[in-house]
Structure 1
Amino acid sequence: MITRRDTLMSGLAAATFYSPASAVTAARAPAVRTKSGPVIGLREDSVSVFRGVRYGASTEGRRFQPPSPPAPWRDPVRAVDYGAASPQRGSEANQSEDCLFLNVWTPGADAARRPVMVYVHGGAYSSGSGSDPLYDGTRLARRGDVVVVTLNHRLNVFGYAYLARLAEGFEDSGNAGQLDLILALRWVRDNIAAFGGDPNRVMLFGQSGGGAKIATLMAMPEAAGLFHSAATMSGQQVTASGPINATTRAQVWLKALGLTPERAHEAAEMPAARLLEAAGEADPILAASGLYFGPVLDFRSLPRHPFYPDAAPQSRGVPMIIGNTREETLGFLGNDPKNAGLTWDTLPARLTPSQLRIDITPEAVIAGYRRMHPDWSPDQVLIAATTAGRSWRGAVIEAEARAASGAPAWVYQLNYPGTIESGRRGAFHTADIPLVFDNVAAQGSRTNGPDAQGVADQMADAFIALARNGNPNHPGLPTWERYDLERRQTMLFDARSTMADDPRGDERRFFSAIPYVQPGT
């Protein structure tokens, strides 16, 4: 018997949607039945694309609560536009508390059982979305015959404001954003086969805050078994925010809202814009602007720190890439004219606690670098020291923890330079994103030049290989050895990629004498 729904599904599947901007091919629109209901995508550049697929119900009216699966639907939904991003400060378009959407790129919605690569976006825990042009999965899906997924989830106060110690009914508020990610991964487990993916070969990869979110998931029991390999790019989470510090931050935020702790529950009903405005208050613990909201050691969904005192046992069997870029903080500091043309007299004022994030005097740092690298300029020392002390340190700790426990880890350092807005060149924070996605020509890419595509070929194929085989080695690379504590083997991605033992070892040893505290903790 042919039902009205079957007729509509067939009609929509046969329709052709034309969009010159996206180079949609004149092919039948792909149709997939998810567990919640049917969706209709587009066929673009020999890849089927589904944008704005709902994986969770709206969080409006359920603020600070765990997410819920969506209500099932019967009529096909056109999945052709990106879904809304979480409310946030900044210029991200299309923001809403109804933000639990994901996007799928697949060579074919068939029974091929391809590896699945799920990307978690950066922007710390406060901003961003899965719809950035650099995250477009078309080229990666076509290149590796893989299924690519990007997603949105709750951020900042909506995903991580910890109210559990202040009001009843908000016990999971400090990790709501992480629980969104777990719900998205459950959606992948339950639905990705219909998109041509293999639910038993799911790789998580993410840059900056995305990598930190992945590291946190590796210690969350509810995430166990939902992914089978992982890659973090300049994103670490050695320790989560402690519940007392997280409560202190929440109290500062509530005070800015005009609420006493006893009235914390009223934040669930206030306008979203007001909540974001109050989040701009100075952090009482971290020397940085704005309140920090990130994962909380709540002893519920997150019962331990991700990489302290060791690598979380539940994920030691998950093969992992851990990467960073050689001049990480050039992306943060390099566009400020005050950080160019430094002298040895002006450098100390730029090595502030908010940049180094550890308890050491700038004079000691400068003296150390002048001993290690007497030929370096003050400008070079600024970027190197803030990278080594602030950004790279967590990656080293995670790699060491994995190696100490016998867990497989492959470590990389991006050396290939991009160009930031000021014209300065270096392997800055985010420079590896277009390389891994094979999107060096995409809008927003600053990692280009004559050798960029060659580096992208190497990096994209390494991530694809990890997703497919649990090992990033492929014929286009030198043999990529696993990291161990004796040699600290590291792949240096460049126009001519090479393996190196303990690169920047002098800087690593210098900063290892200073206790490290994860920003946010």
Structure 2
Amino acid sequence: MKSLNRRQFVTRMSLSAVAAATFSKTGYSAPGYFARTKMAEEFVDIETSYGKIRGIRTEGVNIFKGIPYGGRISGDRRFRRPAPLEPWAGVKETIQLGAPAIQSPRRGEPDPSEDCLFLNVWTPANDNKKRPVMFYNHGGGYVIGSGGSGGQDGANLARNFDVVVVETNHRLGLLGFLYLDEIAGSDYAGSGNMGVLDITEGLKWVNKNIVEFGGDPNNVMIWGESGGGAKTSCLYAMPEASPFFNKASIESGPGVRMTARETAAETTAKVLKELNISPKDWRKLLDVSAVDLLTVQSKFSFVAPHLEKNKPMFGFGPVVDGIVLPNHPFDPTAPNISRDKPLMTGWNEDEYTFFAWERKDTSAFTMDFAGLQTRLEPQYGADAKKIIETYRKSRPNASAPDIFVAISSITMMGLGSIDIAEKKAKQNGAPVYLYNFGYKSDMKIPGTDYPMGTPHAMDISFKFNNEVPPKAGEPPRMGFGGSKPDRFIASHNMAALWTGFARTGKPTAENLPAWPAYNLKDRPTMRIDTKCEVINDRFSEEVDVWKSIGKF
């Protein structure tokens, strides 16, 4: 490692260390995150297996952004494994984010590109110390997002908890998950899973190189939120990924089932029809511009087909192809291949409020109980009344909007998380730990007086320890976490538990209660807030009603 004094390069150095997380109309923009310019205190040169790279050291963290981890995936490599990454001569500057996958432009990031196989590393020091490695999979379903989103900046986690953080960009949407195996031949085997196979390439890069960044290649945790949680679920079940990680955390994105081959093949047929390409002429897909493919992609559901039950829906996501992904990750059982790998899983208490905010839909927050039943009947029919009665009994002080948020949140993310915990516990292998994140933000849903509570995606800035007091002279930042100072305590608690799990395989932290592994007798759940507490068999009456009507 070679460090270069800041004065030698100050005229060349100005970069955004925290960039806004901005998604397309089908995604989200976490309010309050904005670009901050940081100057390098010094530059750091590191030798990797492909060549020398240059990052920066600032505020006690070494940061490397835009490191190539795979070769070309455009041109004749579209829908295929990456071309080999070519070594380079000299020093490659890795001080700016690499291009994200094809999607709408993202504020504070380079223009999206097909060739998007870049990763970012945050480490306290490149000193050969064997720190736990936290390999994060970004959210955004399977169609948007990047490893450079501001709320998931890894500097605070690395600095405050002595870990190494890694995040990748990888193929998304149609370019990452178009299933061509049945029409394109052996060169395109695994085409329906290129997005998660890219992540596996990132894990292989970590295995070869992370020692140079002060990380331990034999202590790697994979984790992710929302679509990143579902990607993590896939990796947990993928033979090719298995040798390169030791534990996992699936957060507000329980990937119990993935897309069946039959559905994926039908989606491919619809794509070809949209482009007026016959199946025998599938190679013409290689000549269609990425922009045109993105336009076709927009005609399909943003929600991957396996995430909405009993609805004729086609979209893009990982495929149970029998090879790359041999089985559904957690159906009918937890994957045997990861039997000995500890797991965390859970969800946020008020997931739904994020989607109401994102869609500007305030209709749920003015309804009475008659309106609640009317709202639920199209989905649950005659069972709507039974569901409401159960929730009114278990939450006697809850309003109709409160109950709608609770029902929507647990059906979106909670039941799948519980299902994963139950199936993992039944294996009698490595432990599984179930959580609820419950810190309540004071941010209101625009156009209402209804609080966001603990919405989907709010956990990102908390578990990355990015809810911290502003530095002197820095304006206050307000995201989903709101403005109350006690959010800093909740953020520290969550980050401490996650890094404790990364370090030891047990989510432990100083001054926090012991978190018992989930079991089928007590069913303990850790509720994470300014004060953390273990609650046994939480939501038991509510879960029972979902079981009774066949929804769980």
Q: Deviations over 1:123-143 (max 9, x none)?
A: 111110011111111111011
Q: Deviations over 1:429-476 (max 9, x none)?
A: 111111110001586632142211111111111111111111111222
**CA contact under 8 A between 1:87 and 1:155: conserved in structure 2?**
yes
Where does 1:486-505 land on structure 2 (aligned, <5 Å)?
486-505=521-540
Which residue does 2:296 correspond to in 1?
Answer: 278
Q: Is residue 45 of structure 2 the alignment partner of residue 31 of structure 1?
A: yes
Give the aligned residue type for 2:362: P
SS of residue in 1 equivalent to 2:351: coil
Which residue does 2:222 correspond to in 1?
Answer: 204
**CA contact under 8 A between 1:201 and 1:228: conserved in structure 2?**
yes
**CA contact under 8 A between 1:166 and 1:262: conserved in structure 2?**
yes
**Which residue, out of 78, 85, 101, partners 1:70?**
85
Where does 1:408-423 land on structure 2 (aligned, <5 Å)?
408-418=431-441, 419=443, 421-422=445-446
Where does 1:373-384 land on structure 2 (aligned, <5 Å)?
373-384=395-406
Which residue does 1:53 correspond to in 2?
Answer: 67
Q: CA deviation at 1:251?
A: 1.6
Q: Distance in 2 between matches of 1:90 and 1:37?
A: 30
Which residue does 1:238 correspond to in 2?
Answer: 256
Q: Deviations over 1:296-332 (max 9, x none)?
A: 0111211111111111011121111112111111111
**CA contact under 8 A between 2:69 and 2:118: conserved in structure 1?**
yes
Q: CA deviation at 1:237?
A: 0.9
Give the aligned residue type for 2:315: Y
Which residue does 2:391 correspond to in 1?
Answer: 369
SS of residue in 2 equivalent to 1:188: helix
CA 258–339 in structure 1, closer or farther in 2 if over 3 Å, else same: farther
Deviates more, 1:449-458 or 1:187-196: 449-458
**Which residue, out of 193, 197, 215, partners 1:175?**
193
Give the aligned residue type for 1:344: F
The gaps in structure 1 that reach 5 residues or longer are: 1-5
Which residue does 1:306 correspond to in 2?
Answer: 329
Give the aligned residue type for 2:46: V
Q: Is residue 140 of structure 2 the alignment partner of residue 118 of structure 1?
A: no
Which residue does 1:512 correspond to in 2?
Answer: 547
Q: CA deviation at 1:395?
A: 0.4
Give the aligned residue type for 1:35: S
* Seq. identity, %: 34
Q: Distance in 2 between matches of 1:426 and 1:288?
A: 29
Where does 1:5-154 land on structure 2 (aligned, <5 Å)?
15-17=8-10, 18-19=13-14, 21-27=36-42, 29-61=43-75, 62-89=77-104, 91=106, 93=109, 94-154=111-171
Which residue does 1:3 correspond to in 2?
Answer: none
**CA contact under 8 A between 1:490 and 1:503: conserved in structure 2?**
yes
**RMSD, aligned CA:** 2.5
Q: Distance in 1 between matches of 2:271 and 2:390?
A: 39
Q: Is residue 490 of structure 2 the alignment partner of residue 446 of structure 1?
A: no
Where does 1:479-490 land on structure 2 (aligned, <5 Å)?
479-490=514-525
**CA contact under 8 A between 1:12 and 1:40: conserved in structure 2?**
no
Q: CA deviation at 1:339?
A: 2.2
SS of residue in 2 equivalent to 1:346: helix
SS of residue in 2 equivalent to 1:329: helix
Q: Is residue 412 of structure 2 the alignment partner of residue 390 of structure 1?
A: yes
Q: CA deviation at 1:371?
A: 4.8
Q: Distance in 2 between matches of 1:217 and 1:314?
A: 10
SS of residue in 2 equivalent to 1:274: helix
SS of residue in 2 equivalent to 1:221: coil
Q: Distance in 2 between matches of 1:42 and 1:336?
A: 43
Give the aligned residue type for 1:445: G
Q: Distance in 2 between matches of 1:264 and 1:472?
A: 48
SS of residue in 2 equivalent to 1:165: helix
The gaps in structure 2 that reach 5 residues or longer are: 16-35, 471-476
Give the aligned residue type for 1:497: C
Q: Distance in 2 between matches of 1:261 and 1:42?
A: 49
Q: Distance in 2 between matches of 1:290 and 1:55?
A: 34
Q: CA deviation at 1:103?
A: 0.4
**Which residue, out of 447, 454, 469, partners 1:427?**
454
CA 432–264 in structure 1, closer or farther in 2 if over 3 Å, else same: same
**CA contact under 8 A between 2:349 and 2:437: conserved in structure 1?**
yes
**Which residue, out of 326, 329, 334, partners 2:352?**
329
**Which residue, out of 298, 315, 322, partners 1:292?**
315
**CA contact under 8 A between 2:354 and 2:452: conserved in structure 1?**
no
Where does 1:318-357 land on structure 2 (aligned, <5 Å)?
318-334=341-357, 335-348=360-373, 350-351=375-376
Q: CA deviation at 1:281?
A: 2.7
Q: Distance in 2 between matches of 1:134 and 1:114?
A: 23
The count of residues paired between Structure 1 and Structure 2 equals 506
**CA contact under 8 A between 1:102 and 1:130: conserved in structure 2?**
yes
TM-score by length of 2: 0.86
Q: Is residue 421 of structure 2 the alignment partner of residue 399 of structure 1?
A: yes
Give the aligned residue type for 2:365: A
CA 44–288 in structure 1, closer or farther in 2 if over 3 Å, else same: farther
TM-score by length of 1: 0.91
Which residue does 1:157 correspond to in 2?
Answer: 174
SS of residue in 2 equivalent to 1:77: strand
Q: Distance in 2 between matches of 1:177 and 1:31?
A: 30
Q: CA deviation at 1:218?
A: 0.9
Q: Distance in 1 between matches of 2:130 and 2:6?
A: 22
SS of residue in 2 equivalent to 1:342: coil
Q: Distance in 2 between matches of 1:513 and 1:252?
A: 37
SS of residue in 2 equivalent to 1:324: strand
CA 249–351 in structure 1, closer or farther in 2 if over 3 Å, else same: farther
Q: Distance in 2 between matches of 1:411 and 1:498?
A: 12
SS of residue in 1 equivalent to 2:183: coil
SS of residue in 1 equivalent to 2:263: helix
